[in-house]
Amino acid sequence: MATMHDVARRAGVSVMTVSNVINERPHVRAATRERVRAAIDELGYAVNATARSLRQGRTGVICLAVPEIDRPYFGILAQLVIERAATDGFEVVIEQTGAARAGELGALAHSRLRSYDGLIINAVRLAGADAALLRSELPVVVLGERAYAEPVDRVAMDNVAGGALAVRHLVDSGRRSVAMIGGRMSSGPADIDAATERARGFLAGAAERGVDADPRRIVESDFSLEGGRDGVRRLLEAGIAVDGLFCATDLIAIGAVRALADHGLRVPVDVGVVGFDDVPLASFTTPSLTSVAPDRIGMVDAAVSMVVARIRGERADADYREVVGAMAIIERESTATIDPN
Amino acid sequence: MATMHDVARRAGVSVMTVSNVINERPHVRAATRERVRAAIDELGYAVNATARSLRQGRTGVICLAVPEIDRPYFGILAQLVIERAATDGFEVVIEQTGAARAGELGALAHSRLRSYDGLIINAVRLAGADAALLRSELPVVVLGERAYAEPVDRVAMDNVAGGALAVRHLVDSGRRSVAMIGGRMSSGPADIDAATERARGFLAGAAERGVDADPRRIVESDFSLEGGRDGVRRLLEAGIAVDGLFCATDLIAIGAVRALADHGLRVPVDVGVVGFDDVPLASFTTPSLTSVAPDRIGMVDAAVSMVVARIRGERADADYREVVGAMAIIERESTATIDPN
DNA sequence: TTGAAAGCGCTAACAG
DNA sequence: CTGTTAGCGCTTTCAA
């Protein structure tokens, strides 16, 4: 690979002039610039980003850490973050945490090692005690979750409100025996994650509408197709009557719809189903899936803006911000109102 | 951030000794090692990967360039590549090409800039004329596609065989009027991509089974849910009778199944549908989706092995290899044999 | 077993 | 408008 020195020699200028041309700085005579450009083309020169990063102490790269990139929700999120970061001149590398605390801590450590300029982390397991780590020299924005006692930069979605929206809609469309798959009954304030918050919303919404809000109507599960399938099996085996089912993600919902069909239960006639995330697929399943939709674009915009502002030093160190994204319910076929006949 | 010099000063040794400890090189006295380790912990020191990369000329990072990370196929692929690369001590960064030639050339250029050690590129638009670029100092393995006249390192899937498998299965399960969504009739040998190859397999398989293999039975489409929906609409509007439908990806198939339902056509009773990729979702849709399954794990293993061998200089420069992954058809409900009554 | 010196390729700061 | 110098943090090379 040619270096800047090679280009300088060939163009008969100093390396500094080459650098000035490459970085489009003023005060370079047009003729000189052309000579340098020609040399660059002839040698097939390209800047070495590693050397530039070492010198500048910045990489121009933001890390996005998500649990698993092969879940549709995170695929879309990644796409949006990449596009949005590009508008501020940043690249994005994606890191997977495996939805584990170790992986999430690893993403933090790793961002430091690689000198990424900032980190947007969709943390699902980082505990409040880890929050101190989130307030380091490295600009970090926590995305998606909502519960740290310590102040950190954070973009959350209102999972409780979303869960309540879902169950209210189920009841209002004629269901009385509601249940939830993918929720969690928190053992304390320590591990408040999306599963817990959505479950709280579910219970609150059910109580509000005067339907049975027994925590036994909530089963835990992975946020996966298999989790939905197994969740339905467990509900039915426990003998819990269900005509309205709230699933903590769309993937769970799709697995659940399939399992319901396998048990001879039709959606929406026998059971109404609501998912969460509003992935594109939700419009295309049969039946199409009613889902709680977070304001993805707004959240991504807020997260990137926040991390970029920190990187640029535009905010005081202790000035932590929190943004909570809006939720909406998108009604589709899976909760069509039951004909009273 | 503490540097190696800070650690050295604190431990009362030279930077070289610190480096030796960090890299677990022998010839460091146990006592010295402990002293250095203690200093590292006290200062919270971590190596600066950028500086190391600049010095070594290697980054330990492989780039994986895919069209769009939010398609399930590529999400899974990324997951597999990350896991496999880790076994050889490499990290992976994911780059999106937008399924455009510019994006694919960009991934190449970018891998050079960032000094990535190698590139695995799922190229869908790079033309044969660009193949020369693939044989540069940068180790590159082309994944998924199959058609370059020039020799390059390549891991392909047998798209033609896969298309033929699909149509044979449709005919053998009782369908006679087959059509395809997401295929392309190539204008020449220049742009042979998956859409073209799968269409060739479709035509060959149809001819082999003695059913109508008119190219008008193939409609182009995006590899997306919307593409499948629109493809069905176009087929039906063109008045083409269809009782067997081959879709170039599972996403197309899911969109198509939905559109068929909207037109009052039931799957599999009225139309049998075969997808391609065998994404996990295929087992969970209603009806579950018959799909052509590439040997993903085998392909990923081959691709990572090839690029790592190149990085390590274990192969002669001109010794290009090609691996073609096996295909299988996974039969599910969407092609259940029609009861002759 | 440990250390000193050099330099990877680039850019900030300043000099001309 | 252009050039010189120094140094980012690390590892390679060689010497002690």
Q: A56 is written with which tokens?
A: 């500048």
- According to the model, what pLDDT value does residue A265 have? 96
Nearest to A72 among B53, B70, B78 (CB): B70
Nearest to B54 among A54, A261, A280 (CB): A54
- According to the model, what pLDDT value does residue A188 have? 66
* B112 contacts in chain A (CB < 8 Å): 1, 46
Burial class (CB in 10 A: 0-12, 13-18, 19+), A30: exposed
- According to the model, what pLDDT value does residue B161 have? 96
Contact B219, B199 (CB under 8 A): no
Question: How far, in Å, are B15, B139, B141, B308 from residue B120 at the CA level?
Answer: 36, 9, 5, 10
* A109 contacts in chain B (CB < 8 Å): 46
SS (HEC) of chain B: CCCHHHHHHHHCCCHHHHHHHHCCCCCCCHHHHHHHHHHHHHHCCCCCHHHHHHHHCCCCEEEEEECCCCCHHHHHHHHHHHHHHHHCCCEEEEEECCCCHHHHHHHHHHHHHCCCCEEEECCCCCCHHHHHHHCCCCCEEEEECCCCCCCCCEEEECHHHHHHHHHHHHHHCCCCCEEEECCCCCCCCCCCCHHHHHHHHHHHHHHHCCCCCCHHHEECCCCCHHHHHHHHHHHHHCCCCCCEEEECCHHHHHHHHHHHHHCCCCCCCCCEEEEECCCHHHHCCCCCCEEEEECHHHHHHHHHHHHHHHHCCCCCCCCCCEEEECEEEECCHHHCCCCCC
Contact B85, B60 (CB under 8 A): no
Q: Which chain A residues in 22-51 lie under 8 Å from chain B, judged by CB atoms?
A: 46-51
Give, for all 341 residues of chain A, the pLDDT tens digit.
899 999 999 999 999 999 999 998 888 888 889 999 999 999 999 999 999 999 999 999 999 999 999 899 999 999 999 999 999 999 999 999 998 889 999 999 899 899 899 999 998 887 777 777 777 789 999 997 766 778 889 999 999 999 999 999 999 999 999 999 999 987 666 667 889 999 999 999 999 999 998 999 999 999 999 999 999 999 999 999 999 999 999 999 999 999 999 999 999 999 999 999 999 999 999 999 999 999 999 999 999 999 999 999 888 888 999 999 999 999 999 999 866 55
**Does the nearest atom of strand D lie within 7 Å of A288's Cβ?**
no
Q: A324 is written with which tokens?
A: 């909570």
Distance CA A323, CA A310 (A): 15
- According to the model, what pLDDT value does residue B190 have? 59
**Does the nearest atom of strand D lie within 7 Å of B28's Cβ?**
no
Q: Quick: pLDDT tens for A168-190.
A: 999 999 999 999 999 998 766 66
DSSP state of A97: -
- According to the model, what pLDDT value does residue B132 have? 75
DSSP per residue, A102-152: HHHHHHHHHHHHTT-SEEEE--SS--GGGHHHHSSSS-EEEEE----SS--
* A70 contacts in chain B (CB < 8 Å): 72, 75-76, 78-79
- According to the model, what pLDDT value does residue A340 have? 55
- According to the model, what pLDDT value does residue B186 have? 78
Q: Quick: pLDDT tens for B155-193.
A: 999 999 999 999 999 999 999 999 999 999 876 665 678
Nucleotide of closest approach to B52 (CA, C1'):
D10
- In a mutagenesis test of the B interface, which of A50, A93, A96, A222 is the best target, namely the one with the most B β-carbons within 10 Å? A50
Q: Which chain B residues in 53-92 lie under 8 Å from chain A, judged by CB atoms?
A: 53-54, 59, 68-72, 75-76, 78-79, 82
CB proximity list for A30: less than 8 A, separation 6 or greater: none
Task: Extract the residue ranges of chain B whose pLDDT is less than 50.
Answer: none
- According to the model, what pLDDT value does residue A220 have? 96
DSSP per residue, A305-316: HHHHHHHTT-S-
Q: Quick: pLDDT tens for B19-40.
A: 999 999 888 898 899 999 999 9
- According to the model, what pLDDT value does residue A131 have? 76
Residue nearest C6 (alpha carbon to C1'): B55
- According to the model, what pLDDT value does residue B337 have? 86
- According to the model, what pLDDT value does residue B56 have? 92
Burial class (CB in 10 A: 0-12, 13-18, 19+), B172: exposed
Q: Are A49 and B281 in contact (CB < 8 Å)?
A: no
Q: At how many degrees (to 10) do helices B194-208 and B159-172 cross?
A: 40
Nearest residue to B74 via CA among B115, B25, B13, B120? B120
Nearest residue to A286 via CA among B175, B163, B273, B276? B273
Distance CA A124, CA A202 (A): 19
Q: Does A286 touch chain B (CB under 8 A)?
A: yes
- According to the model, what pLDDT value does residue A338 have? 67
Burial class (CB in 10 A: 0-12, 13-18, 19+), A330: middle
* A82 contacts in chain B (CB < 8 Å): 96
Average pLDDT value over all residues in chain B: 92
Q: Strand C nucleotides below 7 A of a protein CB?
A: 1-5, 7-13
Distance CA A92, CA A70 (A): 17
